[in-house]
Structure 1
Amino acid sequence: MSTATQVSELAVRVRDRLARRHPGAPIGELRTLPGGHSGLTYSVTAGDTKYVVKAVPPGQRPVGRNDVLRQARVLRALSGSAVPVPGVGAVDETQPAWFAMDFAAGEAVEPVLDEPEVPPATARARMLEIASVLRRLHDTDIRTPGLDAPEPLDAAGELERWSRTMHAVPAELRPGGEELVRRLADEVPGDQPPVLLHGDFRLGNVLCVGERAVAVVDWEIWSVGDPRIDLGWFLLFADHHNFPQLGRAVPGLPTEAELLDAYLDGRPALPAMDWFRALGRMKMAAIMGHNLRRHREGKHHDPDQERLPPTIAAMIRTARDILG
């Protein structure tokens, strides 16, 4: 069956389900939504209501990032909670599965990396705002129905996973990477009690209107585990110096220390945060190195990847500096 046929069949299924939910309302066409990083992402209207549809890509198994039902499950579990998420309007478990969530208007812009540029005062306010959103996310009761996850992510497991990715990158693309992995392995900290983790928490995955966060999106890799895994990643995006040739300076953006203070909100400091800050940088270097390798091997042509080597080197260098 061709991809076009499968997509048209998906459109029929979506139209039928939304027509039952909105009797008499005209159902619009499925339109590909730009910016979706995994799976298939569309927008569709039902009368005056607009939805985002996420579906398993044709011919692919509904696992990992393509497990859209798992994404719908976490959104439903968080509905009405202190964490702003889009509402789930429809779920179809028939394979290839899909779900429709409310379209949340707003900007998801990473200040030091993304276009359009956000006014510095707005960027600062948003980062401090989502630090408190992350706190509320981590305060979620992981016994909530729907939040059942496999074994919690811990520091040792995360290091092992990303070390494999790093080692798959040619050595010349990861200068100092071997020493960084070794030093992280020598100092693996004990674990904190597991919390709900987003997995890629940053402003690029939080829709904001003005200074207010209205929806945390892109839940493809949510899990439960050590809160410092989310935190170390989030803090990485506070400083454009981490992204040579990619990032831009944003005056007044909160420092990592300010974001940590906003997250803690008067609670005791978390131990070994420097290890997790270094781990976040190692993860970013591994991801960028993986993407650059795929481009150079012709597996995914994207000349923009050639801008990455200085940032990969900076991530590794600053991670080693953080470890002392």
Structure 2
Amino acid sequence: MSLSEELERYLEPHGYRLIALRRLAGGASQEAWLVRVRDGSQERDLVLRRDMGGALSSSARTRGEEYALLTAAHTANVPVPRVLFEPLTVEGREAFFMEHLEGETIGRRLVRDQAHAQARLLLPAQTMQALVRIHDIPLRSVAFLGTARGPQDLIAALERDLDACNEGHPALELGLRWLRLNAPPLERAAVVHGDYRVGNFMVGPEGLRGVLDWELAHAGDPDEDLGWFCVRAWRFGRDDLPAGGITTRERMLEAYRNAGGHAVTLERLRYWEIFGNVKWGIGALTQASRHLRGEELSIELAVLGRLAAEMELETLRLLAETEGA
């Protein structure tokens, strides 16, 4: 049975008739399909989010868990696409439907294009307000996330992922060693989005419309999300604005506090920024390995492997800065 036939059979009991199906560009970790349906006399677009071959990391969430996370986030007034129906399996892969949000997600456009200049002024406050709401989601409502993982647990998972790539990367190994030796205590536990950055936001002229891509969510230190926001790759060339290419680290932390978040020092932020660069370096290698192992043949995944060198260089730069301070 083809994908379209399976979806037709699934959607019919929900009162929808399938009209068209198109795979959306992007999505190196999960597939996204634009599904046009008819509901009585009206047409509407839905999005089907489905597993690709392999996994983004050893800690990646299932689609059923991502569905539950989006449900909890919506309840907490986080701007997210609303999930629909219930999780399903299509062609042997886990999936779920959600509403389609219009807007822009491409990071380099959001941080550079004049068309998004007004949104850039609004995004620092809006993204931090949404992040505080994420960190306030009751952990009991997403109990499948398990016990909060501190830095040592996360580092162990990264070491396993790097070992699975079966390649030597001394700069990343040095970064992991530094992270182990300098790990801060877990002072508070919260829902951590795990991939909170420009590129995973749906943005319109009025700013933030939705927070996307929850497959790396876990229970842990909320400061991890702030450090990830500052990883160099997510600035898309705007290194003058190190927090996502839209603001400074200091203004980001101020916006987070103003939204009701806890105070975070620049020293603690630096730790998690180094962690984020090491994490993405290993993540890029893991993505390329999915292609090389034949789990998901994709030029995009293969190309991602070269980004590891950029993350290695940034890790060494940050370590030199930190140790020389």
TM-score with structure 2 setting the length: 0.78
Matched, 1:180 2:178: no
Post-superposition shift, 1:262?
1.1
The amino acid of 1:269's aligned partner reads A
Residue type at the aligned position of 1:320: L
Of 88, 100, 105, which residue of structure 2 is paired with 1:103? 100
- Aligned 1:240-255 pairs, distance under 5 A: 240=235, 247-249=236-238, 253-255=246-248
Residue 133 of structure 1 is matched in structure 2 by 130
Cα deviations across residues 110-144 of structure 1 (Å, max 9, x unaligned)?
A: 24898977645533532442122112211222223
Question: Could you list the per-position Cα deviations for residues 148-207 of structure 1 after superposition, in whole angstroms to 9, with x for gaps in the alignment?
Answer: 322222111111112333454633xx4533332222211221102211111111121111
Gaps of 5+ in 2: none
CA contact (8 A) 1:91 1:99 kept: yes
Look up the SS of the partner of 1:204 in the other structure. coil
| 2:144 match: secondary structure | coil
> How many angstroms does 1:292 deviate by?
5.6
The question of whether the paired residues in 1 share the 8 Å contact of 2:129 and 2:256 is answered with: yes
1:42 aligns to 2:42 (yes or no): no
The aligned runs of 1:247-266 (5 Å cut-off) are: 247-249=236-238, 253-265=246-258
Distance 1:203 1:287 in 2: 17
Residue 270 of structure 1 corresponds to which residue in structure 2? Answer: 264
Give identity over the alignment, percent: 23
Query: How far did 1:13 drift?
Result: 2.8
Aligned to 1:321: 320
Bigger shift: residues 198-207 or 48-57: 48-57
The code of the aligned residue for 1:255 comes to T
Aligned Cα root-mean-square deviation (Å): 3.5
1:188-207 to 2 correspondence within 5 Å?
Answer: 188-207=183-202
Give the 3-state SS of the residue equivalent to 1:30 in structure 2: strand
In the alignment, residue 86 of structure 1 is paired with which amino acid? Answer: P
Residue in 2 that maps onto 1:243: none
TM-score normalised by structure 1 residue count? 0.78
> Partner amino acid for 1:11?
L
What residue ranges of structure 1 are gaps of 5+ in the alignment?
A: 241-246
1:12 lines up with 2:5 in the alignment = no
Q: Which moved more, 1:133-142 or 1:118-127?
A: 118-127
For the residue of structure 1 that corresponds to 2:131, the secondary structure is helix
How many residues of Structure 1 are paired with residues of Structure 2 in the alignment?
Answer: 304
Q: Aligned to 2:146, what secondary structure does the other structure show?
A: coil
- SS at structure 2 position matched to 1:170: coil
Letter of the aligned partner of 1:202 in structure 2? R
- Higher alpha-carbon deviation: 103-112 or 222-231: 103-112
Alpha carbons of structure 1 residues 289 and 169: separation in structure 2 relative to 1, 3 Å:
farther
Q: Which residue of 2 aligns with 1:244?
A: none
Question: Does the 8 A contact of 2:119 with 2:204 survive in 1?
Answer: no
Cα 1:314–1:196 change in 2 (3 A) is: same
Cα distance in 2, alignment partners of residues 39 and 232 from structure 1 = 23
